[in-house]
Amino acid sequence: MTGQPTKPLVLITGAGGNLGRSIGTALSREYTVAGLDRSAASEPFPIIEAELTSGEAITAALAQIREEHGTRIASVIHLAAFFDFSGEEHPLYRKLNVEGTRLLLRALREFEVEQFLYTSTMLVHRPGRPGEVIDEDQPIDPQWAYPKSKAEAERVIEEEAGEIPVALLRLAGVYDDETMVPTLAQQIARVYERDFESHLYSGRRDAGQAMLHRDDMLDAIRRTVDRRHDLPRRTALLIGEPETIGYDALQDEIGHLVHGQEEWPVLRIPKPLAAAGAWAQEKLEPLIPDAIDKGEEPFIKPFMVRMADDHYALDISRAQTLLGWAPHHRLKDELPAMIANLKRDPPGWYRANKVTPPKEWPTPA
């Protein structure tokens, strides 16, 4: 041990990712920040190499933490997780998201941990319907593979945390001026390209999903860490914007900002037909030359069609009460800057959001 830190220690898993670096940087003024990730780094804060699917690797990394910082940790912010949008099960959902969480908590038993902060998702909850608002008492009933793994990880935390206080932050879809969750990025890209699919939808057009600006997410996490001694020992909080924009209204707003159209016509098609179309696209993809689709599978999957009516509008009163937190951003207010970034640098926007670019760039208004 090289001496106790002058500031409380925060340990972040998945620290090398975009969100991890943002969180660590935001906390670095008030806290000593260290991270764990698959690759070591020294900037913007020290990150120790650790494969979080390996108990031995976690133990070795935490031994280094003990040597450099001692055994007291103010907060462990557990971000590390596998995610994809195939909708299908993947070995890493269990190996990393679930069992990796178990291994981490067991290794932390040798430390004095003041808080275990887990970044979960609002999607662990059963979805509502337009007009309904869900809170933390909404049943846990995730609808596809990724949120199912997060819900199972929450159960593991309850089993393994012991005396460690736990805060579960169930986040809405995160965005900022340049990057956003894949569903929103794909929706914007389809309108930008005037893709025929942008005029089709199989669900209720007033259904939508709550969003969360990156700055508001950072603020919620900072407040959760700061108030770790004041929170209940087991706390679950929904974190997102209370206003949810329905699909139709969002399409109109995107169409107006991109192409100057007041309305973006959308035809509702029956779910069985939409699901069959998505299934056919998925099965035919190997037959389509890569020169046309660049080897990319279709984004819209049959499981998405099944959930097209799902609606996530959030009651954030618990976060307001316990954290004094409320979002300062609204997706509708931020959309002009988001679309301006797309129009200013389309290739850069497509790269940042990992969207396959079109063969020919359109000329928006």
Residue 181 CA to residue 150 CA, distance in Å, equals 17
What pLDDT is stored for residue 262 in this prediction?
76
What pLDDT is stored for residue 137 in this prediction?
97
Question: Across the chain, what does the average pLDDT equal?
Answer: 88
Average pLDDT over residues 210-215: 98
User: What does the block give as tokens for 253?
Assistant: 């707003």
Share of the chain above pLDDT 70, in %: 85
Average pLDDT over residues 192-201: 78
Average pLDDT over residues 116-123: 98
Which of 39-43, 286-290, 327-331, 355-359 is predicted most confidently?
Answer: 327-331
Average pLDDT over residues 20-42: 96
Higher pLDDT, 198 or 134: 134
User: What does the block give as tokens for 302?
Assistant: 């049959």
User: What does the block give as tokens for 318?
Assistant: 């618990």
Looking at the predicted structure, is the pLDDT value of residue 225 above 90?
Answer: yes
Average pLDDT over residues 174-194: 94
- The three-state secondary structure class of 163 is coil
Write the secondary structure of 140-156 as one string of H (helix), E (strand) and C (coil): ECCCCHHHHHHHHHHHH
The pTM of the full predicted model, rounded to 2 decimals, is 0.89
Looking at the predicted structure, is the pLDDT value of residue 200 above 60?
Answer: yes
Average pLDDT over residues 170-177: 97
Looking at the predicted structure, is the pLDDT value of residue 270 above 50?
Answer: no
Sign of the torsion formed by the C-alpha atoms of 242, 246, 250 and 252:
negative
Higher pLDDT, 285 or 107: 107
Q: Which residues contact 174 (CB under 8 A, 6 or more apart)?
A: 19, 180, 181, 211, 212, 213, 214, 217
What pLDDT is stored for residue 203 in this prediction?
62
Higher pLDDT, 223 or 283: 223
What pLDDT is stored for residue 355 in this prediction?
93
- pLDDT bin (cut points 50, 70, 90) of residue 363 is confident
Q: How many CA atoms lie within 13 A of 183 on its CB side?
A: 18
Looking at the predicted structure, is the pLDDT value of residue 302 above 90?
Answer: no
User: What does the block give as tokens for 179?
Assistant: 């990057």
* pLDDT tens digit sequence for 309-362: 889 999 999 999 999 999 999 999 999 999 999 999 999 999 999 999 998 998
User: CA-CA-CA-CA torsion for 119, 151, 39, 164, nearest 10 degrees?
Assistant: 60
* pLDDT tens digit sequence for 2-25: 555 589 999 999 999 999 999 999
Pick the range with the lowest mean pLDDT from 72-86, 253-267, 271-285: 271-285
What pLDDT is stored for residue 261 in this prediction?
83
Residue bearing tokens 């590390």: 80
What pLDDT is stored for residue 276 in this prediction?
41
Looking at the predicted structure, is the pLDDT value of residue 287 above 70?
Answer: no
In this structure, are residues 41 and 16 in contact, taking their beta carbons and an 8 Å threshold?
A: yes
Looking at the predicted structure, is the pLDDT value of residue 271 above 90?
Answer: no
